Structure 1
Amino acid sequence: MSTPPSKPCAVCGRAITWRKKWERDWETVRYCSDKCRGRKAEARDPSLEQHILDLLAARASGATICPSEVARAVAPEDWRGLMEPVREAARRLVARGEVDIVQGGHVVDPSTAKGPIRLRRRPG
């Protein structure tokens, strides 16, 4: 039996890789961890995704934005607390095929990217 392909977490967008213990219920696995299961998708998450898409739409084709730009647009006074939720929203958009996460001009795996990232609308 071949292992099923990985799928994105419904909350953080990180890749969930198949495990033997999930063999019987792989189709129902939606979260990568207990933390994500407890949080589920918060009410602000769809608006963060939309802010990312809106900022990218206002830029030239192929241009990038920093996740901090999105956080500052949503909460100018308290933007630092939104950095991880913005990165999570970006990973979900990557999973849907709408944006790419880049570092140094190269597309990177959103589940393993560390450090500063940029967001770019996916060409096509």
Structure 2
Amino acid sequence: MTAPEAPRPTRSCAGCGRTITWRKAWERDWQHLRWCSSACRRRGLTPVDRQLEDALVQLLRERARGATVCPSEAARAVGTGEGWRELMEPARAAARRLVVAGQVEVTQGGRVVDPSTARGPVRVRLVGRG
């Protein structure tokens, strides 16, 4: 019988907030790894990304205790006209970054979920207000 494999270390991407799991190829650079992919590294964090984070937090603070918002509400607050649709994935990424920062949690069906693996509609709420 073999011993169970030890859990591999993880960290979050600075751009999209998704979980990065340690790989042997990253062994030498693990301490300095910030991005999950070259696409995230190229894109970096833009002023719009910060606006989406601020919009999510502001919307949640304006709501009742325990209330949630959809990332699309932040996208609509930042985007103009139909341009908000292009901000949907950046809005979800903003929510993931806020989860990593410990400010919010992402829910689906009323239960807290891992935002890196959640598929479909999600809601965001402030931590400690649910």
Same fold (TM over 0.5): yes
User: Structure 1 regions of 5+ residues with no counterpart?
Assistant: none
The runs of at least 4 consecutive aligned structure 1 residues that moved more than 6 Å come to none
User: What is the TM-score normalised by the length of structure 1?
Assistant: 0.94
What are the residue-to-residue correspondences of 1:34-113 with 2, within 5 Å? 34-77=38-81, 78-113=83-118
**Contact 1:3–1:18 (CA under 8 A) maintained in structure 2:** no
TM superposition shift of 1:87: 0.5
RMSD: 1.3
Please say if 1:12 is aligned against 2:16.
Answer: yes
Higher-Rg member (1/2): 2
**Contact 1:94–1:100 (CA under 8 A) maintained in structure 2:** yes
CA offsets, 1:98-124, max 9 Å, x none?
A: 000100000011110100000000107
User: Structure 2 regions of 5+ residues with no counterpart?
Assistant: 1-5
Aligned residues: 123
Specify the alignment match of 2:31 in structure 1.
Answer: 27
User: What is the TM-score normalised by the length of structure 2?
Assistant: 0.90
Identity fraction in percent: 56
TM superposition shift of 1:42: 1.4
